[in-house]
Amino acid sequence: MPEPALNEANIRHLLRRTEFVDRNERVSDLLALSSIAEAVQNVLGVDASPPTAAFTATSNWERGVELTHFWLDRMAHDAARPFQERMAFFWHGHFCSDLGKVESAILMREQIDLWRLSGLGNVRTLATTMSTQVAMIRYLDNNDNRASSPNQNFARELMELFLLGVGNYTEADVEASTAAWTGHSDQWNDDVSPYRWRPDWHDSRPKQYLGRTINADATPAVWPLHGPETIDVVLGAGVVPPGADNVANRGRPTRDVAAEFLSRKLWNNFATEGAPPADALDAMRTALVSNDFAIGPWVTAMLTHPAFYTDTVKEGLVRTPVEYAVALLHATGKRSAFVNAIWLMESMGQRPLFPPNVSGWRPNGYWVNASAMEGRARTAQSFVWAATRTYWQNGGTGLISLRNGSLTNSQVTANSGGVPTLSNTAYIDLLESYTGIRLTATSKAEVLQYANGASVWERNDALMLLLVAPEMHVA
């Protein structure tokens, strides 16, 4: 199968899906390489020791705001290889927790830093680590899971939403996994050492789980490992049981089923909705299983596959509200706290740290509805205000301040008998250049039509049209 061509269209597509925005300097960097494979490896060359958010506030709510601003700025401005943050956000929507229930911004930062530091590491390591982080213990109620009163929330979602998918296990497997995870709890009001192992809560009896015996070692020192053993079984030698609802998968190795489940989720978040083409799914599953669930080879298999570069995929993914906000931050060159659009993100339907439920956010067409698009327009207006705060001040020296340059009020309004000194075409060209937004011919004609019908005193509003153009809503 031939490798996708190394050309500008494919590189811009790769960057928009992995680094939020196709920055011109990054396009030049990758076009100087010899192949798409090399370009993908460059994208995956993320910071091994990225900074973490520093808190100055005292309340969890305000710290959550600080953490969100920090993360959005990393996505839009501060990360040299923003795929690190894009992949972390994927995991945040997959192994998700909610600040409202966790009630600790420190614990949410710990979990998000796991995605940021290790999001390209290994699925087994991520799943095992997050399972004993107190953010997840609290979010899915494992702090209330004890032998005398089992709570199945975490054990069920670990299979249904995190690793295997619906219908690939039985209720007996849920009960066995729940028993294995008893004893992992927390200590409230302690963000320094919040984890607590409760041996008196643990059910250490051997169990049958996905065709394998777990909890076989009854030594108390080994009991904390009984829970993580369930992850090893799913990603290792487990088998979908005969009584599972998904008839087609009965008897299949759970590692293959898990690899396909995760691959569909990755494809839907980075490529387009629906099932990936059979050869792409096969390549992704093979990469994940043959590399013992290492994430780098898995992602590489997707990003280097010809199916990822088809017109269907290139035109088939709507930016999530977070991706749209990042694109606005990039275009205007503004820091997240300066614009302070976090409160508007909820009207678009997505705010970091607050997923709607344990299944996370839906991708793609879910974001195209009247309410969400109205929220996007109001968010874009906030960015216009941030970019033009001084525009009508200072006797004509006020600015439209954007990422790559600024336009003064006098530049935009200078005219002779109402005819602009700076032509509308030249003006729109500058807006494109200064924001880095690349309009299609159709969109540019619409913006020009507005400018041609506007007075020189109204031309500044053309910026709003760029920020809500269709090109801004498609990843």
What pLDDT, on a 0 to 100 scale, did the predictor assign at position 55? Answer: 98
Handedness of CA 360, 362, 368, 369 (dihedral sign): negative
Query: Token digits for 359?
Result: 């299944």
CA distances from 267 to 273, 278, 364, 365 (A): 7, 12, 11, 14
Over residues 142-186, the pLDDT tens digits come to 999 999 999 999 999 999 999 999 999 999 999 999 999 999 999
Q: Which residues pair with 419 in a beta bridge?
A: 416
Q: How far is Cα of residue 457 from the mean position of the Cα atoms in its chain?
A: 40
Confidence band (pLDDT; 50, 70, 90) for 190? confident
What pLDDT, on a 0 to 100 scale, did the predictor assign at position 372? Answer: 87
What pLDDT, on a 0 to 100 scale, did the predictor assign at position 67? Answer: 98
Secondary structure class of 4 (helix, strand, coil): coil
CA–CA dist 147, 151 (Å, integer): 9
Instruction: Specify the DSSP class assigned to residue 126.
Output: H
Over residues 217-240, the pLDDT tens digits come to 989 999 999 999 999 999 999 999
Confidence band (pLDDT; 50, 70, 90) for 369? confident
Instruction: Specify the DSSP class assigned to residue 152.
Output: -
Confidence band (pLDDT; 50, 70, 90) for 243? very high
Instruction: Specify the DSSP class assigned to residue 319.
Output: P
* Percent over 70 (pLDDT), the chain: 100
Please state the rounded mean pLDDT for residues 89-105.
97
What pLDDT, on a 0 to 100 scale, did the predictor assign at position 335? Answer: 97
Q: Is the pLDDT of residue 208 over 80?
A: yes
Contacts of 137 (CB under 8 A, 6+ apart): 143, 154, 184, 185, 186, 195
Secondary structure class of 102 (helix, strand, coil): helix
Instruction: Specify the DSSP class assigned to residue 239.
Output: B
What pLDDT, on a 0 to 100 scale, did the predictor assign at position 365? Answer: 82
Residue with tokens 């993580």: 228
Q: Is the pLDDT of residue 60 over 90?
A: yes
Q: What is the separation, in whole angstroms, between the first and last Cα of the chain?
A: 26
Query: Token digits for 276?
Result: 């990936």
Name the nearest CA neighbour of 75 among 46, 38, 32.
Answer: 46
Over residues 419-437, the pLDDT tens digits come to 999 999 999 999 999 999 9
pTM of the full predicted structure? 0.97
Confidence band (pLDDT; 50, 70, 90) for 438? very high
Please state the rounded mean pLDDT for residues 77-94.
98
Q: Is the pLDDT of residue 327 over 90?
A: yes
Residue with tokens 């005193």: 457
Over residues 332-342, the pLDDT tens digits come to 999 999 998 88
The mean pLDDT of the chain is 96
